[in-house]
Amino acid sequence: MTTTLERRQEYRALFKSNVAKRLVVDKVVRIIVFACVIIAIIPLGSILVEVFKNGIAAISFEFLTETPGAIGSGEGGIGPAIQGTLIIIGLASLIGVPIGVMSGIYLAEYGDNKLARSIRFFNDVFMEFPSIVLGIFAFLVIVLILGHFSVWAGAFALSLIMFPIVARTTEESLKMVPITYREAGTALGLKKWIITFRIVISAAKSGMITGILLSISRIGGETAPLIMTILGSSQFFSSMDVPMDALPLRIWRLSLLPYDSAQLQGWGSALVLIIIILGINLGVRYYFANKKGNGIIGRLIKAGVTRQK
């Protein structure tokens, strides 16, 4: 059985047309896929360029330190907002970090049972709760009961966003510490909590710091939960029991005003906020990131924690 010369020619033509078509499809898909990447990066570039271009004109010493002037006057600054953001990040960390770290220790060191598995699951789901709902929760349990707006309510709301992130990153970094470290501690006759705090945590330090800083950069940009907890104000911080300002809130308020000067100040505030947040984010990645992508940052992404709301 041999094919005739004509048949062979026919096959060859078929094969050629088939391969050519497949190669074309492949090329087209490659181009589309690359275009996807470019399309996604354009907004990032545009945001950064616009924020820097428009914001830099607003920045001055007065702008960074003074209280806001009369609406639409274009005077004054965002001093209280910067101060408020720092205060609320500090207070939220005060609540969120210890709980998150202890919870992470529980998951890593005692986390091999049913309770821990459900905690891990609900922790992940809690991380995805709409932040505005957490703000309402803080409003209901603190503001409504105290009867006035309170800085603690805002800090509590942000700590709720923070602690699951810290818990998961702590767990992941503690798990990367080799079991032999713990065995060495046990062999020395140390108590479990001393082993955990002195040996395991010091070995897992960089991962934990990464998680804490990333969670700080995340809550620093949160706006929604602050609307119903610290409300916004144009005065510097005076007491825990009165409304306070924060940068994201100030940006929101300014964007709603129909004046060019307010718009300019809005860009200026956005520049300050983005410098703080991207500064922390980039700094963390630069210093701690494992370049292979399966280090702590990769694990964070897998845990889905690097998203702003």
Kindly identify the residues of this chain, within the stretch 159-198, that bind other proteins according to CB under 8 A.
Answer: 160, 163-164, 167, 191-193, 196
Q: 236 forms bridges with which residues in the sheet?
A: none
If phi over 0 gives left and psi between -120 and 50 gives alpha, with beta otherwise, what is residue 40? Answer: alpha
In sequence order, what are the residues at sequence separation of 6 or more whose Cβ sits closer than 8 angstroms to the Cβ of residue 145? none
CA triplet 228, 230, 235: central angle to 5 degrees?
Answer: 140
Q: Which stretch binds other proteins (CB under 8 A): 39-47, 68-76, 81-89, 174-182?
A: 39-47
Structure tokens at 110: 């005692």
User: Interface with other proteins includes 63 (CB under 8 A)?
Assistant: no
User: Interface with other proteins includes 94 (CB under 8 A)?
Assistant: no
Structure tokens at 51: 């924020």
Q: How far is the CB of 213 from other proteins (least distance, A)?
A: 12
Our CB check for other proteins shows the closer of 61 and 258 to be 258
Q: How far is the CB of 2 from other proteins (least distance, A)?
A: 25
Q: How far is the CB of 239 from other proteins (least distance, A)?
A: 20
Residue 131 host element (H or E): helix 131-138
Q: How far is the CB of 4 from other proteins (least distance, A)?
A: 26
- Contacting other proteins (CB under 8 A), which of 13, 20, 41, 146? 41
- Contacting other proteins (CB under 8 A), which of 11, 121, 259, 287? 121
Our CB check for other proteins shows the closer of 1 and 38 to be 38
93, 175, 209, 220, 276 from 213: Cα distances, Å: 10, 19, 6, 10, 11
Our CB check for other proteins shows the closer of 5 and 37 to be 37
276/291 Cα distance (integer angstroms): 23
Place of tokens 């074309």: 24
Q: Which stretch binds other proteins (CB under 8 A): 9-17, 77-85, 109-117, 200-208?
A: 109-117
Amino acid residing at 53: K
Our CB check for other proteins shows the closer of 87 and 271 to be 271
Contact between residue 67 and residue 77 where contact means Cβ atoms under 8 Å apart = yes
Our CB check for other proteins shows the closer of 15 and 73 to be 15
Structure tokens at 30: 């490659």
Contact set for other proteins, span 248-267 (CB under 8 A): 248, 251-252, 255, 263, 266-267
Q: How far is the CB of 120 from other proteins (least distance, A)?
A: 9
Our CB check for other proteins shows the closer of 151 and 251 to be 251
Q: How far is the CB of 36 from other proteins (least distance, A)?
A: 3
What is the gyration radius of the CA atoms in the chain, in angstroms?
A: 26
Q: How far is the CB of 205 from other proteins (least distance, A)?
A: 18
Contact set for other proteins, span 290-309 (CB under 8 A): 291, 293, 298, 301-302, 304, 306-309
Q: Which of helix, strand or coil describes residue 66?
A: coil
**Among 166, 156, 127, residue whose Cα is nearest residue 307:** 127
Cα 201 to the chain's mean position, in Å? 23
Segment 37-41 long-range contacts (CB within 8 Å, at least 24 positions apart): none
How many residues bind to other proteins according to rule CB under 8 A? 98
Our CB check for other proteins shows the closer of 8 and 191 to be 191
- Contacting other proteins (CB under 8 A), which of 107, 158, 199, 216? 107
